[in-house]
């Protein structure tokens, strides 16, 4: 146990137990205390995806997120699902306008009101460039086409800033990059679709920072709208518990990590939340892991009463102060990125990559619960699980030297420690 009254997060910010002064902020909150409980599925076979969806809805999911391509036949995937009662998310590979049009046709043919369709479609050229190293200008035109198709309540202007979190960004850096992400689209599209933005964040185990981070993005959004002389509007905020903090060893500890992460996102005001199954590293689409992930939502709602409060962090001097500090740092970072020409140019220049690499190197932990702290010595990992170390940036750059943009590197903090332990055990 710690013998000091202060704790320090890996990226350097201090958590103090007593707060005596702080700013009064009004970041806004989701419209209702309830949040949307999302689970995701990669569609391979349409009817199998439909069976999965019906099962997840029967277990209490209120949102479904499908990874689809424009060749999938949506009526098979969405058969017997009343779209007016759930939130539907579509991450699209291929033609986004084709998928959006297919969703609207299905909703109409199935007797659903288009005006009652709730959810989002995920077409994000910035995230695609950061992940693959290739800028697809045609995706910007896809967003323009979708603006003509999407009903006013359906979100389509997507900022997948969760990817920056998955690549090791600190709370302030994730906010700064998220602000630059939003700024890029506001600059490109102006008032077109500005009420149909949605933004994705990751939520980790550093509870107070996560609350402040989720509250902070709404303050930054309001400030951006003011700069662009646009009326205030709600920013739809999706959050997912970070796989960055998950371990393959002692994987049941991931239940606790994800509960802490989800608590931060809920109290911070996320509109929709996906809790990653505790065993997602070792098993793919596991029914038990998915069921327990939904139960975590319901424990936080029914047994912790988080579905009965609005902005419970308001008035906490520490969290209000932390929110202001993160926003100040993020806004300063946005100005640096603007000076480079925007977030795409910052990616092209390697500025984002340098920033994240420095933060990752400074924050890599030397100890991790269940891996090299209080480990379960008798645990044997699945034979088909291939542990890989964190990628060295020099090797990553060499592998992608033909790309116009150096792709970002996803991070899992326990990766090196797990590989080290596995090699020691196999050598005995």
List, for residues 306-363, the tens digit of each pLDDT value: 988 888 888 888 999 999 999 999 999 999 999 999 999 999 999 999 999 999 999 9
Q: Which residues pair with 92 in a beta bridge?
A: 68
Tens digits of residue pLDDT in 242-276: 999 999 999 999 999 999 999 999 999 999 999 99
Question: Helix, strand or coil for residue 418?
Answer: helix
Q: How does residue 384 score in pLDDT terms, banded at 50, 70 and 90? A: confident
Q: Judging by DSSP bridges, how do beta strands 272-274 and 87-93 pair with one another?
A: unpaired
pLDDT score recorded for residue 314: 87
Burial-class residue 426 by CB neighbours within 10 Å (0-12, 13-18, 19+). exposed
**Entry pTM:** 0.92
Cα-based distances in Å from 82 to 45, 54, 110, 373 = 20, 11, 8, 47
Q: How does residue 108 score in pLDDT terms, banded at 50, 70 and 90? A: confident
pLDDT score recorded for residue 7: 66
Cα-based distances in Å from 196 to 122, 183, 191, 238 = 12, 14, 10, 13
Burial-class residue 171 by CB neighbours within 10 Å (0-12, 13-18, 19+). buried
pLDDT score recorded for residue 3: 54
pLDDT score recorded for residue 15: 62
The residues, ordered by sequence, that sit 6+ positions from 316 with a Cβ below 8 Å of its Cβ are 19, 22
pLDDT: is 10 or 349 the higher one? 349
pLDDT greater than 70 at residue 91: yes
Stated as kind and residue range, the H or E segment containing 143 is helix 137-149
Question: Helix, strand or coil for residue 86?
Answer: coil
User: CATH classification of 31-327 is 2.60.120.330, yes or no?
Assistant: no
pLDDT greater than 60 at residue 19: no
Counting residues of the chain whose pLDDT is more than 70, the rounded percentage is: 95
| Whole-angstrom distance, CA of residue 328 vs CA of residue 241 | 25
Domain boundaries, given as residue ranges, for the chain: 31-327
């Amino acid at each position: 146990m710690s013998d000091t009254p202060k704790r320090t997060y890996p990226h350097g910010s201090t958590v103090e137990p007593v707060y005596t002064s702080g700013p009064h902020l009004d970041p806004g909150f989701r419209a209702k205390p309830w949040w949307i409980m999302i689970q995701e599925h990669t569609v391979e076979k349409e009817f199998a995806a439909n069976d999965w969806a019906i099962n997840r809805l029967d277990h209490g999911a209120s949102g479904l997120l499908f990874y689809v391509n424009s060749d999938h036949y949506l009526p098979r995937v969405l058969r017997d699902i009343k779209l007016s009662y759930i939130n539907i998310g579509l991450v699209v590979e291929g033609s986004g306008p084709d998928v959006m049009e297919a969703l609207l046709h299905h909703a109409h043919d199935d007797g659903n009101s288009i005006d009652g369709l709730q959810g989002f479609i995920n077409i994000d050229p910035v995230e695609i460039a950061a992940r693959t190293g290739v800028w697809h200008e045609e995706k910007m035109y896809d967003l323009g086409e979708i603006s003509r198709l999407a009903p006013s309540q359906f979100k389509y202007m997507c900022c997948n800033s969760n990817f920056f979190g998955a690549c090791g960004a600190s709370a302030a850096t994730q906010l700064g990059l998220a602000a630059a992400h939003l700024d890029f689209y506001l600059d490109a599209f102006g008032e077109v679709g500005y009420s149909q933005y949605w933004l994705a964040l990751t939520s980790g185990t550093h509870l107070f920072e996560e609350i402040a981070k989720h509250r902070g993005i709404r303050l930054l959004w309001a400030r951006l709208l003011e700069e662009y002389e646009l009326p205030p509007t709600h920013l739809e905020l999706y959050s997912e518990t970070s796989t960055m903090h998950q371990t393959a060893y002692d994987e049941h500890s991931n239940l606790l990590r994800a509960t802490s992460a989800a608590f931060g996102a809920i109290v911070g005001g996320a509109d929709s939340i996906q809790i990653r199954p505790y065993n997602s590293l070792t098993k793919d689409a596991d029914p038990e892991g998915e069921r327990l992930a939904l139960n975590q939502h319901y424990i936080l709602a029914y047994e912790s009463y988080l579905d009965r409060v609005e902005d419970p962090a308001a008035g906490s001097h520490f969290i209000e102060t932390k929110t202001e500090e993160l926003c100040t740092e993020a806004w300063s970072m946005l100005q640096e990125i603007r000076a480079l020409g925007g977030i795409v140019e910052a990616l092209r220049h390697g500025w984002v990559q340098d920033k994240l690499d420095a933060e990752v190197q400074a924050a890599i932990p030397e100890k991790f619960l269940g891996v090299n702290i209080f480990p379960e010595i008798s645990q044997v990992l699945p034979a088909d699980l291939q542990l890989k170390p964190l990628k060295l940036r020099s090797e990553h750059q060499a592998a992608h030297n033909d790309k116009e943009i150096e792709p970002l590197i996803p991070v899992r903090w326990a990766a090196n420690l797990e590989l080290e332990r596995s090699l020691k055990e196999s050598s005995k």
